[in-house]
């Protein structure tokens, strides 16, 4: 190897004095945050899908009118189109509240814990798991991108 031994880069090596338990706890915290990231993505999907459905209702109202059903067009327009999804809230307000009251504080705490407990080194648990599971010297098990066994080609 040129310039470093075969293994994770410094940013993914456990700082001296950091215990196995701390690495495991930070890995657990990271996993919980990643799950929250996925939940947040589903919340954005909910937001976008609900908005798309609401915009389609404009077309529904127009088509009902053209089809000779003005009473149904008016029912859809006044009872569903633009309706709150929960009392007082459109989906964007739910997303904002989630971000403000749960997601951002969670993300900030995870970041602060990594900074204080692991000198800001992210993904130590995963880096150590990778190192334990890879086959040193195998071209598809390189420790780092761009190392001699990694020619940049997809296999």
Phi, psi values for residue 89, rounded to 5°: -130, 130
pLDDT digits (tens, 9 = 90+) for 43-86: 999 999 999 999 999 999 999 999 999 999 999 999 999 999 99
Q: Report domain extents, the chain.
A: 19-133
For residue 3, what pLDDT band results from cuts at 50, 70 and 90? very low
Distance separating alpha carbons of residues 152 and 147, to the nearest angstrom: 9
């Amino acid at each position: 190897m040129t310039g470093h031994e075969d293994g994770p880069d410094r940013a993914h090596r456990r700082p001296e004095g950091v215990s196995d338990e701390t690495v495991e706890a930070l890995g657990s915290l990271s996993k919980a945050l990643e799950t929250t990231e996925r939940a947040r993505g589903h919340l954005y999907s909910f937001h976008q899908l609900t908005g798309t459905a609401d915009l389609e209702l404009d077309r529904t109202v127009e088509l009902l009118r053209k089809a000779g059903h003005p009473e149904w067009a008016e029912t859809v327009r006044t009872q569903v189109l633009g309706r709150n999804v929960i009392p007082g809230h459109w989906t964007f307000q739910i997303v904002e509240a989630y971000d403000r009251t749960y997601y951002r504080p969670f993300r900030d705490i995870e970041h602060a814990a990594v900074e204080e407990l692991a000198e800001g080194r992210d993904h130590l648990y995963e880096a150590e798991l990778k190192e334990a599971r890879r086959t040193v010297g195998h071209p598809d098990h390189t420790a780092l991108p761009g190392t001699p066994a990694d020619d940049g080609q997809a296999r």
